[in-house]
Amino acid sequence: MAELSDIANEFIRQEIEEYLERPTEIERNIELFARVRPAMQDIAAALIEGEDDVVDRLTQQALADGIEALEIMDDGLIAGMGIVGIKFREAMIFVPEVLACARAMKAGMNYIEPILSDSGVEPIAKVLMGTVKGDLHDIGKNLCIMMLRGSGFEVVDLGVDTSDDDFIDAIEEHQPGIVGMSALLTTTMPNMGKAIEAFIDADVRDDVMVMVGGAPVTQDFADDMGADGYGKDALACVEVAKKLASA
Ligand code: B12
């Protein structure tokens, strides 16, 4: 079993010590960061700090040093984002910090995405994501999309204020395995259930798995509307999508 002192990067050691509380998450992150090479720890640290220019530079450097794009994504960017997700869940950081980290992730992914799409890595599944009709909140949806893409899903982003017809047209056009819907307002939450009913009427419900999320959405609400999955945050979104993709 790895020890905290096995992690070369002092900032990462401090993050684990100061911010992680759940024993399973502490253990998992110690094992992870003790295993990854120091250059990847540095990328993760810069991402956690929201330093997009540093992530940009270190990602380019790592690629120039011959490190595989997949390794940089998994061991640097996603590993760092894992800690960000936990800190956000525990209200240790807030939206502006998460957005800075999201920008840093994007700075690295700008170099990684074209290489991965060229290298023939098969996407796990295709996911359509949209914020439902009447709702303009997209920060959470965009975080989910970023985490999904980072985890090997192909994602079609339908944006905000997505009508039932927009979803249905996109299902017919893109033939995704999974449709993800986001809602942040109690007034727009019911539009998720209405969209599912519209999928049934349009005879496309059986073609897709539906996952839902957004701050006011709960597992009970998801069950009541007949969704196949619910995730409370971007980490859970990836877990749910993986489950639905293999169902
Ligand atoms: C930022 C914000 C805005 C921004 C949105 C900017 C943007 N580009 O998104 C602006 C200023 C535009 C805005 C507008 C409004 N807002 Co606003 N807004 C917020 C605020 C402060 C943060 C939302 C956010 O981004 N959270 C951070 C993200 C990361 O979290 P998240 O969205 O929950 O997403 C996570 C999970 O839910 C999950 N998830 C999300 N989607 C999905 C999808 C799937 C499939 C899965 C599995 C998981 C998942 O994963 C995400 C990442 O971890 C919230 C308060 C709050 N604490 O939620 C109010 C809030 C949502 N807004 C509110 C209101 C009332 C409004 C307005 C009506 C205000 C007005 N009078 O005009 C308008 C509505 C506009 C509209 N038609 O949509 C209320 C809603 C109240 C309610 N009960 O319905 C809130 C709760 C504030 C409050 N306490 O009153 N808002």
Could you tell me the pLDDT band of residue 142, with boundaries at 50, 70 and 90? confident
- 112 with 219, same domain? no
Last-in-domain residue among 65, 89, 118:
118
Residue 191 domain-assigned (yes or no): yes
For a ligand 1 pocket test, name from 86, 137, 186 the mutation site with the most ligand atoms within 8 angstroms of its C-beta. 137
CA distances 49 to 13, 128, 211, Å, are 14, 30, 31
pLDDT digits (tens, 9 = 90+) for 7-56: 999 999 999 999 999 999 999 999 999 999 999 999 999 999 999 999 99
Q: For residues 85 and 245, which has the higher predicted lDDT (pLDDT)?
A: 245
Q: Of 77, 75, 141, give the one whose Cα is nearest residue 109.
A: 77
pLDDT at 119 over 60: no
pLDDT digits (tens, 9 = 90+) for 180-220: 999 999 999 999 999 999 999 999 999 999 999 999 999 99
Atom of ligand 1 nearest to the CA of 136: 78
Strand intervals (E) in the chain? 126-131, 154-157, 178-182, 209-213, 229-230
Taking the centre of ligand 1 as the mean of its atom positions, its distance from the CA of residue 64, in whole angstroms, is 40
Residue of the CA atom closest to atom 61 of ligand 1: 184
Taking the centre of ligand 1 as the mean of its atom positions, its distance from the CA of residue 228, in whole angstroms, is 23
Total domain count for the chain?
2
Q: CATH number of the domain at 78, please.
A: 1.10.1240.10
Q: pTM to 2 decimals?
A: 0.78
Q: Of 137, 173, 22, 133, give the one whose Cα is nearest residue 83.
A: 22
- Measured distance CA(100)–CA(87) in Å, rounded: 14
Residue 203 domain-assigned (yes or no): yes
Q: CATH number of the domain at 181, please.
A: 3.40.50.280
Residue 144 domain-assigned (yes or no): yes
Ligand 1 within 6 A of CB of 130 = no
Domain that holds residue 180: 126-245
50: how many CB neighbours lie within 10 A of its CB? 20
pLDDT of residue 120: 63
Q: What value does the mean pLDDT take over residues 48-74?
A: 96
pLDDT at 67 over 90: yes
